[in-house]
Structure 1
Amino acid sequence: MKRVHRAFISLAVVFAAGNASALEPDALFTKVSGGVWAVRTFDAQERPLRAGSAVVIAPGRLVTNCHVLAKASSFVIRQDNVTYGATLEYPDPARDLCQIKVANFSVAPVPLAPAGSAHVGQRVYAIGNPLGLENTLSEGILSGLRGGDSQAPLLQTTAAISPGSSGGGLFDSEGRLLGITSFGARDGGSLNFAVPIEFLAELPARAKAMLETRPSGPAAAETVRKTAEAGSGGAAGLAVPLHRGDAIEYVHTDKLTGIRTPVIYRLDRIDGDVLSFNGGGRIEKADGRLVSAPSPLGGLFDSSAPPGGWGRKDMQPGMRWHLDYTTRGRQRHELDATVGEERPMHIGGTEMNVTRVAYEGWIYGAYGGAPLTTISARFTGTAWYSVELGRVVKFDGEIQRTGSVGGSETMEFVRIQR
């Protein structure tokens, strides 16, 4: 009994020691909130543009999201009643990270978590300035590690993030910085994301490499500004021609379960006017027309897509056409398409005009070209197509089998990663 009792005590001591450094939320906030500042940006006429957040990572140096600084002619950082002018030092819009510098700024940097220490299920805390409410703390868990980059994954979290939180800090329970809060999926509830701190070490080199390929002087500043806008997650990013390494991000929602999953199409090859994403898992023409989608990451959006995709640039309200095609999954689709009116829609924070296209018909199991009507299913779908972007920015699809819903899904555009 003594041995068992001593072993139990030893395990208890080890467990307690392993958790001794975890902080209560109030203590954690006291420890690191001084290193999270609000960002305010202004246009050339000194009119306010955007509000965001930034985190102190080194003496006189803070990091924020590049999309916070997009279109800005000047910007400041602020906490309580203290304001400092700031300037851009290292832009990395492809990863949506921008380092800024502030003269005569002596605030201590926040501690950084060890590289690779983020793990699913751990308690995390977001500190930022949502809706302009300075130094707001929210609590959650790290709910996923997503393949946002080949070097390190995006951090998915349930900690609340709202407009103004962009550029804030995501901290572990010891008050160490895990990532920079970047964006939340539209209507995504607790589906929010942060850029991992592993990217900070590469910021100077990546920024230098990008700037060396740009012209100097005022033209360079304008190019950086436009590039930051392209990496901001807004629709303007898609209007810029895609380049190798760019990625288009959607969110797929299974409406039957409520599960929301990021879907990323990364451009890894360009052959003339043919664009190959995800190692050939999706192939498009340069104008956005779908060639094939052998790896249907986007559910029905990919697996049931007609030749050319769910929309096209020559559509006019009132147009109708009939589709009869068989997918790679050997399912025959007979659908009727009807084009509705054009209307405005908010896409990545920008209002743009989209055209609604309704699809209705049947899907049959196919073998040798002959439909097996015993496994037929009713299909309805709606695509919102942006002519300016040359692609569908929202898609709803539903399959009904003999009185029951076999699948109900939504795909929504989130942003472009450059």
Structure 2
Amino acid sequence: MKPIWKNAAPWLCAAGALLAAGPAAALEPDALFAKLTGSVWAVRTFDAQERPLRAGSAVVIAPGRLVTNCHVLAKASNFVVKRDNVTYGATLEYPDPGRDLCQIKIANFTATPVTLAPAGGARVGQRVYAIGNPRGLENTLSEGLLSGLRGGDGEARLLQTTAAIAPGSSGGGLFDSDGRLLGITTFAARDGGNLNFAMPAEFLADLPARAQAQLAARAREPAGAAARRTADAGGAGIPLTEPLRAGDALEYLRTDRLTGNRVPVIYRVDRVNGDEVSFNAGSRIEKANGQLVSLTSPIGGLFDSASPPGGWAPKDDIQPGMRWHLDYVTTTDDRLRHELNASVGAEHTTRVDGVDVNVMRISYDGWIYASYGTGASPVGTPLNVAVLYSPELKRIVRFEATYRRAYASVTNETLELVRIQR
């Protein structure tokens, strides 16, 4: 079975389906839910062996047309939309992985399309409602405020909301109190409090043109160029080394090697400002070259909480054989003192989501000193870290750490880059 990204058809959406209607009367939450619930569906994706992959949501925007997040469809060979006991097979029509929006089509599908809110009409402080399928719980309504407008620089901005979303909500709808679509819910900042985000609905009007442009760019690629693209780029011709843009995301997998527990860790770009890239509503800020600027929410375990100033690859031109010494106090958690010696090994290759990339192994060995009175304990506990740094991607693609705390407590974990969502 061919990947779904190759099924995109060059059809145009009816422009009228993306135009906002005139003013409407504000609805009570129960009336709003009754009006919209039939227009938000669950998405289920499967691999070539029909094994389940992911779950998400989708919003009906025109007759037989729905929009979801591209990351919901990533790596799927086929997918369906469902509501209650009704299921429809669907195909991809317009992929725009750069904005994480994918339009899908369904034959003989009669669900009522939603109405779009006026472009640029979103206002901080207005009441909003999210409808989706968090954690597989179909047709869930959550209420909140539009708490911020992030990004911008000449185009529509990410919508920040306090309306709750969770895994499975991706691709659902964020609506105003009149029941008009403001945005497509996309991600939540893990461990970042009530920070949830949606792509603005005005992006939907650009889907056909942007999808066709990206597919045309792929057709012009020289032979073999596809091997330098992440599988998650939706077949849209985005190279692995393409600079990150707002809406892109780095998806890591954090594994506790003692228990086997595996947790996804998402660093999503909410703004690029000059040579600085902001992730997860500013909780992590990096330079364009991958060096860490600031960190306030350590969602990646020791990768974040024990991070040196500048990150685990803090030098501009790392070369095999380099060595350096670090003595620093972390800015998160308990502000522990770290004393580490770093050394760089030979260059080799590894695979990131099926693509070969060049990496260097940087080893860190040393001690962590816990807080003790007004200073640090004179007795440290050992910390051993090994990272694989990719000069091509300008970031860490694998992190391994063993930390032996007091009372024989041991932390042994890995954090590995599994895909770049575009």
- TM-score, normalising length: structure 1: 0.61
Give the SS at the match of 1:179: strand
Task: Give matches, 1:275-294, under 5 Å.
Answer: 282-284=287-289, 288=290, 290=291
Amino acid at match of 2:310: A
Q: Note closer, same or farther for the CA distance 1:264–1:85 as it changes in structure 2 (3 Å cut).
A: closer
Q: In 1, distance between residues paired with 2:66 and 2:384?
A: 44
Is the Cα–Cα contact under 8 Å of residues 324 and 342 in structure 2 kept in the other structure? no
In terms of fraction of residues, the more helix-rich structure is 1
Give the SS at the match of 1:161: coil
Q: What's 2:242 paired with?
A: 243
Establish whether residue 142 from structure 1 lines up as the match of residue 141 from structure 2: no
Q: Note closer, same or farther for the CA distance 1:227–1:65 as it changes in structure 2 (3 Å cut).
A: farther
Shift in Å, 1:186: 1.4
Q: What's 2:63 paired with?
A: 59
Shift in Å, 1:246: 3.4
Task: Give matches, 1:74-223, under 5 Å.
Answer: 74-147=78-151, 150-215=154-219
Q: In 2, distance between residues paired with 1:130 and 1:42?
A: 18
Shift in Å, 1:70: 0.5
Give the SS at the match of 2:145: strand
Q: What's 2:340 paired with?
A: 337
1:41 pairs with 37, 40, 45, which one? 45
The one-character-per-residue Cα deviations of 1:294-331 (angstroms, maximum 9, x if unpaired) are xx565899995389617998899xx9842599xxxxxx
Q: In 2, distance between residues paired with 1:160 and 1:90?
A: 28
Is the Cα–Cα contact under 8 Å of residues 172 and 184 in structure 2 kept in the other structure? yes
Q: What's 1:271 paired with?
A: none
Bigger radius of gyration: 1
Is the Cα–Cα contact under 8 Å of residues 132 and 164 in structure 1 kept in the other structure? yes
Q: Note closer, same or farther for the CA distance 1:230–1:358 as it changes in structure 2 (3 Å cut).
A: farther
Q: What's 2:314 paired with?
A: 309
Q: Note closer, same or farther for the CA distance 1:265–1:27 as it changes in structure 2 (3 Å cut).
A: closer
Q: Note closer, same or farther for the CA distance 1:323–1:357 as it changes in structure 2 (3 Å cut).
A: closer
Q: Note closer, same or farther for the CA distance 1:299–1:192 as it changes in structure 2 (3 Å cut).
A: closer
Shift in Å, 1:129: 0.6
Q: Note closer, same or farther for the CA distance 1:87–1:262 as it changes in structure 2 (3 Å cut).
A: closer
Amino acid at match of 1:172: D
The one-character-per-residue Cα deviations of 1:25-57 (angstroms, maximum 9, x if unpaired) are 111000111000000111111111111100000
Amino acid at match of 1:282: K
Amino acid at match of 2:177: S
Give the SS at the match of 2:115: coil
Q: Note closer, same or farther for the CA distance 1:30–1:45 as it changes in structure 2 (3 Å cut).
A: same
Q: Note closer, same or farther for the CA distance 1:264–1:135 as it changes in structure 2 (3 Å cut).
A: closer
Q: Which runs of 5+ in 1 are unaligned?
A: 1-18, 251-260, 269-275, 326-333, 341-346, 348-353, 362-376, 396-412
Q: In 2, distance between residues paired with 1:135 and 1:277?
A: 38
Is the Cα–Cα contact under 8 Å of residues 150 and 270 in structure 2 kept in the other structure? no
Task: Give matches, 1:371-382, under 5 Å.
Answer: none
The one-character-per-residue Cα deviations of 1:101-142 (angstroms, maximum 9, x if unpaired) are 000111110111010111111111110011111101111111
Q: Note closer, same or farther for the CA distance 1:214–1:110 as it changes in structure 2 (3 Å cut).
A: same
The one-character-per-residue Cα deviations of 1:316-347 (angstroms, maximum 9, x if unpaired) are 9xx9842599xxxxxxxx9842469xxxxxx9
Establish whether residue 322 from structure 1 lines up as the match of residue 342 from structure 2: no
Q: What's 1:257 paired with?
A: none
Shift in Å, 1:85: 0.7
Shift in Å, 1:264: 4.8
Amino acid at match of 2:287: R
Q: Note closer, same or farther for the CA distance 1:50–1:249 as it changes in structure 2 (3 Å cut).
A: closer
- Give me the identity figure in percent: 60
Q: In 2, distance between residues paired with 1:306 and 1:47?
A: 38
Amino acid at match of 2:242: H
Q: What's 1:273 paired with?
A: none
Q: In 2, distance between residues paired with 1:150 and 1:414?
A: 32
Q: Note closer, same or farther for the CA distance 1:124–1:264 as it changes in structure 2 (3 Å cut).
A: closer
Q: In 2, distance between residues paired with 1:63 and 1:308?
A: 38
Q: Note closer, same or farther for the CA distance 1:191–1:324 as it changes in structure 2 (3 Å cut).
A: closer
Q: Note closer, same or farther for the CA distance 1:74–1:249 as it changes in structure 2 (3 Å cut).
A: closer
Is the Cα–Cα contact under 8 Å of residues 148 and 264 in structure 1 kept in the other structure? no
Q: What's 1:69 paired with?
A: 73
The one-character-per-residue Cα deviations of 1:208-255 (angstroms, maximum 9, x if unpaired) are 000001139xx99x969x7672479xxxx9xx63224635669xxxxx
Q: Which runs of 4+ in 1 moved over 4 A?
A: 247-250, 261-265, 296-304, 310-316, 354-361, 381-386, 392-395, 413-417
The one-character-per-residue Cα deviations of 1:131-188 (angstroms, maximum 9, x if unpaired) are 1111011111111111067411101111111111000000011111000001111122
Q: Note closer, same or farther for the CA distance 1:122–1:356 as it changes in structure 2 (3 Å cut).
A: farther
Q: In 2, distance between residues paired with 1:157 and 1:101?
A: 28
Q: In 1, distance between residues paired with 2:61 and 2:311?
A: 49
Moved more, 99-108 or 184-193: 184-193
Shift in Å, 1:384: 8.8
Amino acid at match of 1:21: A
Q: In 1, distance between residues paired with 2:101 and 2:287?
A: 27
